[in-house]
Amino acid sequence: MTLASLTQSRLLTTAIPGPRSIALHAEREKQVTSGFGVALPIFIDRAEGAILEDVDGNRIIDFASGIAVTSVGASNPKVQAHVSEQLARFTHTCFMVTEYDSFTAVCRWLNEHTPGDFEKRTALFSTGAEAIENAVKVARSATGRQRVLVFDDAYHGRSLLTMAMTAKENPYKLNFGPFPAEVIRAPFAAPLRWPTGAHNATADALAALERILEENGPETFAAMVVEPIQGEGGFIVPSPGFLPGLRDIATKYGIVLVLDEIQAGMGRTGALFASNDENIAGDITVTAKALAGGLPLSAITGRIELMNAVHAGGLGGTYAGNPLACAAALGVFEAFEDGSLIENALRIETTARGILEPLRSTTGIVADVRGRGAMLAVEFADAGTLVPRADLAKAIADLCHRSGLLVLVCGTFSNVLRLLPPLVIDQDLLEDGLILLRDVISQVSEAVDIEQLETVAT
Ligand code: PLZ
């Protein structure tokens, strides 16, 4: 069945959420665990490009991409063509039982495109957390060491080991311990709140890391795992020089540098990988999310001597590199071939900065507009003191949602709004969403000013 294409414009036919979504949500609450949250309780009927159409007929602008997954659009024709063709042939064999060539083809593309001028091998899995766990397994097996170094504000997943590696307790880790041992955390060179000033962040953070390694014995660390731009922790772009510094320290002590490109990778930042920006290569690079345009696929790609150090049969999983997911990835690779999506990511950044950056001076609540390419964020805090304002981020997200713009909150203090539009978003739709967001932020800022005046007056 071919559907007529979905008009790429915002349309509100009911209040958000509409009556049908409200009814479906009530039923969900009767059937689904309450352990899952939801950013916006609307039920989606169709999605295409950067539009989500809900069951009430509302057309919502998508600035979330299912958390950085549908970069090529939620129903990309290239992805659809590859998946449909595969669906007609077979859905599964299990790559550990009998083989299929699309698995190899995905590995070949990743070996050729991930940063690093050395011979590589790739392993495929399903989720991001699973890939991170396997990167640690490979690093331990290859080095004979156990410890894992991670950073403040890091997010690596919800499985037991990756929960231990994730920084934030609530909601990710609360009541779920005990966690695996041997995970040690170091400061991330986050410029905005660096105690001695942004210009010292790189040198101070690297010095702190050297000290932590020295205390614990650098030779006890198998892996150092880092997001080149932090995602859930607040879209934090590290100070220049921090990532190259980590690269040097990892090399000096024989620690496997694992770059978690799960959220930042696959074209999101205006380069295929965020690590391209500072010209560094991980010994292992981890990809997931946008890799297969919405089908569950993750990968670890690394130096041949690491990836082949594991004993035969040591890696795997029933669904690892499922044929439908591999087919989807081949569609994604095709979509990236002509370079236009990467250009789009850069156009998105230019447009967004033009519209949002003035808010830093026109309002007293925007502490930062940051990010790279189509991985952008606005951080809310009190002017001067930089006290994080989660209440404002939530109020602004709620107002955007009610007007038909889906945005997500992130950050250790839940005070950051992140923008992750599909890279295929039309310019008009992008501008509509950004202007709406700008106006909502200005409105909320004025309300805060009035509130403050009232508090001073009373
Ligand atoms: N590493 C950098 O961003 C997933 C999490 C959403 P999985 N981020 C979205 C939530 O609340 O569960 C993520 C990431 C980075 C690892 C992961 C984990 O990837 O596919 O969710 O396991």
The residue whose CB lies within 8 Å of the most ligand 1 atoms, and thus the one to mutate among 69, 155, 258, is 155
Question: Identical fold at 19-75+339-457 and 78-336?
Answer: no
State if residue 125 touches ligand 1 by the CB under 6 angstroms criterion.
no
Is 359 within 8 Å of 392 (Cβ atoms)? no
Question: Which sequence spans correspond to the domains of the chain?
Answer: 19-75+339-457, 78-336
CA–centroid distance, residue 227 to ligand 1 (Å): 11
Closest CA to ligand 1's atom 16:
156
158 CB near ligand 1 (under 6 Å): yes
- Beta carbon of 265 within 6 Å of any ligand 1 atom: no
Q: What is the pLDDT along the chain (458 residues), one digit of tens a residue?
A: 568 899 999 999 999 999 999 999 999 999 999 999 999 999 999 999 999 999 999 999 999 999 999 999 999 999 999 999 999 999 999 999 999 999 999 999 999 999 999 999 999 999 999 999 999 999 999 999 999 999 999 999 999 999 999 999 999 999 999 999 999 999 999 999 999 999 999 999 999 999 999 999 999 999 999 999 999 999 999 999 999 999 999 999 999 999 999 999 999 999 999 999 999 999 999 999 999 999 999 999 999 999 999 999 999 999 999 999 999 999 999 999 999 999 999 999 999 999 999 999 999 999 999 999 999 999 999 988 999 999 999 999 999 999 999 999 999 999 999 999 999 999 999 999 999 999 999 999 999 888 776 776 66
- According to CATH, the topology of domain 19-75+339-457 is Aspartate Aminotransferase, domain 1 (3.90.1150)
Could you write out the DSSP letters of every residue in 80-132? HHHHHHHHHH-S---TTTS--HHHHHHHHHHHHHSS-SS-EEEEEESSHHHHH
66 lines ligand 1 (CB under 6 A): no
Atom of ligand 1 nearest to the CA of 130: 22
CA distances from 304 to 94, 104, 132, 255, 266 (A): 23, 15, 17, 16, 22
Angle at 78 between CA 73 and CA 81, to 5 degrees: 120
Residue range 78-336, CATH number: 3.40.640.10
| 125 Cα–ligand 1 center, Å | 14
Protein residue with its CA nearest to atom 3 in ligand 1: 263
Question: Which residues have CB under 8 Å from 173's CB, separation 6+?
Answer: 163, 164, 166, 179
